[in-house]
Each structure stands twice: as C-alpha cells, then as structure tokens.
Structure 1
Amino acid sequence: MLEDFDQFMEDAGIDAFVCEGNAFEVSDIVWLTGFRSTDSVTYFKNIHDKGIVATGFKTYDRVQKESFIKEFHDLTPIYKDLIREKKRAYENPDVIYEDILKTHFTGSIIGVPDHLPARVLVAIQQLGYDVKVVPKLLKKARATKSPSEIDIIKKAGKSTTSAIGRIVEMIKDSTIGTNNSLVVDGEPLTVGRVKLALEHYLLDQGAESAEDAIVAVGAKAFDWHYLGKPEDVLKAHVPIIIDVFPRLKYERYVADVTRTIVKGSVSEPVQKMFDAVYDALVSSIDSLSDGAKIDDVNMACFETLKRHGYDSSRLNIDAVDGMTHGLGHGIGLDVHEEPSMYRYEDYFTKGNVMAIEPGVYLKGVGGVRIENDYAVSSSGAERLTVDLEDIIHV
C-alpha cells in the first residue's frame, strides 16, 4: 500500500524515487498519483516526504483537480523556453529533470523503476546524480491492497461475472446443429461472435478487455492459453473454457475470472475433471490466509489433484497433462502482479488479492479450469467474484 512506501524505499536504500509516464501505458502512475490521463507526468518523492507531480500547461491545471497528490511542480516555464528554442521536451529530459531535481531533491541516491525510459535514466545520470534501478520496489508496494482498492477489484469482478453470465445465457439459448455446432439466430456461434458480445457486455458494465479473452473449445483447450480463433465454432457436449480479464475503464483495476461451460451431455472424463478441479479450488482457498506459506497453498491444490488421479508440473516437472500451469497470481492495476505463486518460500499478507485458477487438461479431451479472485485476510480469503456458479452445465 502507499502508506508503506517509505519503508519500501528505506529497504531499497534510496533517498528519493522518480517515475514517469501516463496512466494508460504505466499503471504505476495511476497507483502513485490517481491521475488518469494520456498525458505523461513525472512523480517525484523524497523519502519520508509527500510525493509531487510535475507537468505543465493544461495538464498542470487538470492534475491539481484530479490527482490525490496535493503538491505540484509547474513545468510550464521550462516547456515555453524549449518551444522558443524550437526544441521538444521529450527530447530534452535533462532540462526537465534538472529543474525538478534542483528544486526538490535533498538526498544522494535516486531510485527509479526498471520501466523508466532510458533517455530519462541517462539524463539524470549525466546531470551528476547517483541512480539506482529498483525493479521490485513498486511491485512489492502494490502487492498489498487497501480496502478501497479491494472494493474496486470487487466491482471489476462483478462486471466480469455479469458479462460471462450473459455468454452463458447465449450458450444456454443456442440450439445444437450439424456436427454438434451451437447455433444462435440461424448462424454458427463462433468464438468471434462470443468475444464481440463479451466486449459489448463489458462496456455496458463500465469495463473493457485488458487483453484478448480466452474462448477455447473442446480439445483445443488442452493448450491452456489458446485464445481461440474467430472462426472456431462452439460445440455441444465438450468443455468450453472462457477466461476473461477486463479492466474498469475509469478506475483501471482488473479482475480475472474463468469458467468452463458444457452444453448438453457431460462425458465421464470431463465430469471427473470438473470434480477434481472444484475440490482443488476448495482446498486451495481453505489454505489461503494471512501468514500462509505460498507453497503450502500450492501443495493443497496439487495434492488434491493427485488424489483424483491427475498429474501436475509442480509434482512432476515432466508432466504433459493434468495441471501444467501455476495456481494463480496477484491482480490489481495489472492482470499479473505480486505475489507470484512461484515464490514458494514467501508468505501471503493481509491485503494481497489473488486470482486462483486450478485446472486439468487432457490431450484429446480439452480442459476444465475454474478461476475466482480473492482478498487475503487474517481469517482466510474473501471471494470477490461471487455472482456466477463455479460449475456451469446448461
């Protein structure tokens, strides 16, 4: 959380921190400033002091009204000087940062994220400042969410489950045509149609796709990140994996939800997969709480799948079927954040928000995956994606 940022700076051994970008390309800017704009701004903070936002012209007026930051640095005079000299601010970061740092910097070492543009990093160094790249600083700070952030992610989850629910209704209302193809309004129900409908439903909920959703039909879902081709036709009697990870358009936070849907009859192998994956989900969540070791939660999942007769890459590095991906990941302003489920020796902390996604995949059959989002608390894990059944058979 932002409240812990000074401690993270101290642990990183830096006296100040600089970040640059716009909210639509650099999610750290949203987290650090609350300012949502396509215009780039600079965030600067001395340790144990309040952060400032530096920008100019109309953006300076806007950021004062829209950012939760209360201290600002007006770059308008510098921008005007550069314009008079027929120079671009983008190509002269030394001039910009000399003005900012001479005015505000009081320490000796400046920390920067690993995504800071190289032109800015070089400019600060050429001005004579000691710079330390701290790639994990913001990742660690952002891993723990505030109650207000959790509420926003819950809102994103509601948008996501609502949109998937509309697709479930579309599949339920479809008819079964030639070769078990699903048909809606006289036309095959294709992955392209489903994804377009998802986009419309998400927009209705104030969200948009963070990346391309996964709609994988039948045996093709054995490749657990197969996106689905627009021309793929949804089929009856086989599992259909729909994995959606949209972003709220204004707040910029994401959710990540997966459901596996079967229309028609469920084969015995697929039913066994459903049973195993659901049990693995329950076991994982029962183990998830503040202070829980990450690998203990992993093992709760993989040992459950093993009892059901399924392999996993965690227990067998050479596994080719079963569960061949990780159990989940943190979410927030980005769809993949800390904590990572691959940090086996680390521990969960109250305020972590996790997408937990057990799945089983069999060649020639396809896959079954269930994914929900959870906020870690001292008493366990609060489910944030609640408005959709885990197992869907229509």
Structure 2
Amino acid sequence: MKSDLDALMQAKNLDAILVIGNAEHNPPMYYLTGGGHVTGATLIKKRGEEAMLFCNDMEREEAAKSGLKIIPYSTYNYEALLKEAHGDPALAAAIRYKRMFTDQRVHGRVGIYGNTDLGSAFAIFTHLQRLIPEFELVGETRDDSLFMKTMETKDEAEVAHIRKMGKITTQVVGRVAEYLTSREVREDEVLLKEDGSPLTIADVKAKINLWLAELGAENPEGTIFAIGHDAGVPHSTGTPTDLLRLGQTIVFDIFPCEAGGGYFYDFTRTWCLGYAAPEAQKLYDEVKAVFDKVMENFDLNMPFKNLNRFVCEEFEGKGHKSPLNTPAPLDGYVHSLGHGLGLNVHERPWSGLTAADDNILKPGVVVTVEPGLYYPEKGMGVRIEDSVWVRPDGKAEILAEYPHDFVLKMKRWKK
C-alpha cells in the first residue's frame, strides 16, 4: 500500500524516487497522482516527504487534481537550458533534472521509474549521471521493484476500483454469451450474423470493445477469444477469420482496465456452444475440480507458489504434464496458477514455481486463480479464471461472481 512506500524506500536504501512519463497508462505515475491528462510529467519524492509534481503549464489544472504540490516546467526556462546544452535536447533535459534535484534538496541514491521512450531516457540519464557524479541513479527489474512491492497489497478504495471493473467485465461477458446463444446456426454448425453471413472471431471482438467502451472501460491489452486449436495455446488471442462453430472449446480471457489506464480486472471462462464432445467435457470437469480445490485451500500467508505446486501435482495425478516435472511443456498444464492484479494486469505476488518465498497470500493482495489444460493438436483448451481478494479477515473473496457454465444452450439451433 502507499503507506508502505517510505518504509520500502528505506529497505532499498533509496533517498528519493524520480517518476517520469504520462499520468495515464503508466502505473507508477498513476499510483501517486491518480491519473488524468498530464503528459510528460516528472514526480520527485524524497523519503519521508510529500511528492512534488512538475508538469507542462497547459496541464497545470489537470495536474492539480492529484492533490500534490505542482511546479510548472516554465520555472526552468527551456530556451536557456537548450542554449546551455548547445542545442542537445537530451542534455537540456538532464540539466533541468539536476536543477530540480537542487531545488528539492535531493541527494544520495535516487530510484528511477515510469514508462517512457527507452532511447530518450537512456540519453537523458546518461547525461544526468555525468552531471551529478555524487548521486547514484538506481534502476530495478520490474517484477520485484519498489512499486511492485508497494502496490502488492491494496487498500479498500483500490479494491473498490477492481470490484467495479469486475462488474463491468462480467456485464460484457454476459452480453457476449447472450449474443452468441441468440445466433442462427447454419447446417454445418457455423453461427450466423444478423445479415446471414458467418460470425467470426473478429466480429465478436468488435462487439466486446464496443460494449467495454460503452461501460467506461478500456481494453489496452486486447482480449483472448480463441476457438478450437487456438484455445489450446494459452495466449493465442484467436485468429480473426476463424468462424464460430458449435461444439468447439472457446477460451474467453478478458482483462480490461478503467479508462485512462487505471485498475484492471482479469477473468476467463471456457465455453462450448450447443454441446461438448465427451473429451472436452472431461477436460473441463478436471479443470473445474482443481479450481474448486484451490479455492478450498486458500490458506492465509501461504507462498502463492505452494498452491501452484498443488495444482501441478493434481494435474499430473490425472495424467497431464506440468512445469513441475516437464520443462516448458506445450500441452497439459503449461503455465502458473495466477498472479497479482492492480494497475498492472500482471504484478506481485507471483505464483511461478521459482518465485521468491515472499510472494505470499497475505491480507490485501488481489490475485487471479486460473488453472487450465491445453491440447492444441486435439483442438481444445480449457481455462477458468476469477480474481480473488484476500480480505483483512483472511478470507478469499471472488470480486465478481459469474456462472461457471461450460455448455451454453443455443436458443435458435434447429437440431
């Protein structure tokens, strides 16, 4: 939580942090500002002190909505900076950072965060380190960075944002189910659009994006809507020209966020339209049984990877491969059980078998639970996923309930 930020800065021996980039679709900046139309901003926070937000003058009122103290970039005359830098914009930016640090009395080890153009950042910070050799500019790998650890637990206001996105997500999923089951079906079991032409994956995704937008959400990471062979490849997003047919497994994994790059939700259902082949039904039943066992064994403060190991053992006991004893399997259970969820669609705590022991299911985390089995050569795959909050009382709560139906009954299919 944000209240942990200073303690985590202390643990990482950081005297200050520098966050750069837009306030939207930039998790570290969004986390500290609340988002908004603020582009190319700079945030400086010293350990134990409030953050300062530097912004373009035209966006000063948007920036002020953050509640932070605002300093306009015009405080530092850009023409003078560029002249001092002999026309080099990267050096001019570095000189401005140096003056910001001086004005804010920043010193020591400074962590650098935010989403921005890598080439520009490299040029600027190369100059900056040369200009301030007494400082140590610190970068981190993303998965265990300061912000990943700070954002790992959520307060109730953050959970409310995720819960709201869960409601929107399940509304859209319900609309998709209603739309699909209301289609006319051709003799060869292909679903038809209103105009009588075949319904494709691209057609369904267009409706998903429209319905998300109507409900105030964005879909920056895309949607997995994959049928048949593609359903057997976990992160295949689906072939746009594939036709929707009865009896084939459809993996529908949807992970939208609040407009402006806010909090995500993550949700998956697997469907067969009209009927399911016995082999597909068996696969689904095995995944659902494991999903239910995971929810029953959601122990407080357990390393998340322990549940993943449990899932591997369960699936291997049913004859499927898993990462526990098969390096990088391409069929069976091929991924980890889940991940944290928040301003990033994937964040701490991690559940991979090699994850550190401090990735635990402690109060305040929101995680996905998404066991699955995949057999692309058999033209099938199954995944079930819900997003779960570990509440302050230690209980696990699914944040958006939705039925786990596998076979969806067609309303206009003439068998």
Partner in structure 2 of residue 385 of structure 1? 400
Partner in structure 1 of residue 388 of structure 2? 374
Give the 3-state SS of the residue equivalent to 1:262 in structure 2. Answer: strand
Partner in structure 2 of residue 248 of structure 1? 258
- For the 8 Å contact 2:372–2:383, the answer to whether it is kept is yes
Per the TM alignment, residue 265 of structure 1 is displaced from its structure 2 partner at its CA by 1.7
Match of 1:353 among 366, 382, 387: 366
Whole-angstrom CA distance in 1 between matches of 2:50 and 2:89: 25
Per the TM alignment, residue 344 of structure 1 is displaced from its structure 2 partner at its CA by 5.4
TM-score by length of 1: 0.92
Cα-to-partner distance string for 1:142-171 (whole Å, 9 max, x where unaligned): 111121111101111111111111111111
User: Where do residues 256-295 of structure 1 align in structure 2 (5 Å cutoff)?
Assistant: 256-295=266-305
Whole-angstrom CA distance in 1 between matches of 2:289 and 2:54: 51
- For the 8 Å contact 2:24–2:261, the answer to whether it is kept is no
Partner in structure 2 of residue 51 of structure 1? 51
Give the 3-state SS of the residue equivalent to 2:53 in structure 1. Answer: strand
Indicate whether 1:130 and 2:114 are aligned. Answer: no
Moved more, 10-19 or 113-122: 113-122
Per the TM alignment, residue 393 of structure 1 is displaced from its structure 2 partner at its CA by 1.7
Give the 3-state SS of the residue equivalent to 1:155 in structure 2. Answer: helix
Moved more, 240-249 or 174-183: 174-183
Indicate whether 1:165 and 2:174 are aligned. Answer: yes
Indicate whether 1:305 and 2:309 are aligned. Answer: no
Match of 2:234 among 224, 247, 257: 224
> Alpha carbons of 1:226 and 1:318: their partners in 2 closer, same or farther (altered >3 Å)?
closer
User: Where do residues 112-261 of structure 1 align in structure 2 (5 Å cutoff)?
Assistant: 112-113=112-113, 117-128=121-132, 129-135=135-141, 136-185=145-194, 186-250=196-260, 252-261=262-271
> Alpha carbons of 1:227 and 1:105: their partners in 2 closer, same or farther (altered >3 Å)?
same
Give the 3-state SS of the residue equivalent to 2:76 in structure 1. Answer: helix
Per the TM alignment, residue 91 of structure 1 is displaced from its structure 2 partner at its CA by 5.9
User: What is the percent sequence identity of the aligned residues?
Assistant: 26
Whole-angstrom CA distance in 2 between matches of 1:61 and 1:127: 32
Whole-angstrom CA distance in 1 between matches of 2:406 and 2:202: 21
Give the 3-state SS of the residue equivalent to 1:284 in structure 2. Answer: helix
Gaps of 5+ in 2: 409-415
Moved more, 233-242 or 355-364: 355-364
Give the 3-state SS of the residue equivalent to 2:276 in structure 1. Answer: coil
Partner in structure 2 of residue 329 of structure 1? 339
User: Where do residues 308-319 of structure 1 align in structure 2 (5 Å cutoff)?
Assistant: 308-317=318-327, 319=329
Per the TM alignment, residue 306 of structure 1 is displaced from its structure 2 partner at its CA by 3.2
**CA RMSD in angstroms, aligned pairs only:** 2.2
Whole-angstrom CA distance in 2 between matches of 1:318 and 1:137: 29
> Alpha carbons of 1:123 and 1:287: their partners in 2 closer, same or farther (altered >3 Å)?
farther
Partner in structure 2 of residue 93 of structure 1? 93
- For the 8 Å contact 2:35–2:260, the answer to whether it is kept is no
Moved more, 13-22 or 371-380: 371-380
Partner amino acid, structure 1, of 2:390: V
Per the TM alignment, residue 236 of structure 1 is displaced from its structure 2 partner at its CA by 0.2
Whole-angstrom CA distance in 2 between matches of 1:389 and 1:301: 22
Whole-angstrom CA distance in 2 between matches of 1:257 and 1:90: 42
Whole-angstrom CA distance in 1 between matches of 2:184 and 2:91: 59
Cα-to-partner distance string for 1:102-152 (whole Å, 9 max, x where unaligned): 111343221223857223322331221222223411111111112111110
- For the 8 Å contact 1:218–1:235, the answer to whether it is kept is no
Whole-angstrom CA distance in 2 between matches of 1:278 and 1:223: 19
Match of 1:77 among 71, 75, 78: 75
Whole-angstrom CA distance in 2 between matches of 1:145 and 1:279: 29
Q: How many residues align?
A: 391
TM-score by length of 2: 0.88
Whole-angstrom CA distance in 1 between matches of 2:397 and 2:90: 45
Give the 3-state SS of the residue equivalent to 1:238 in structure 2. Answer: coil
Per the TM alignment, residue 82 of structure 1 is displaced from its structure 2 partner at its CA by 4.2
Whole-angstrom CA distance in 2 between matches of 1:273 and 1:197: 29
> Alpha carbons of 1:344 and 1:122: their partners in 2 closer, same or farther (altered >3 Å)?
closer
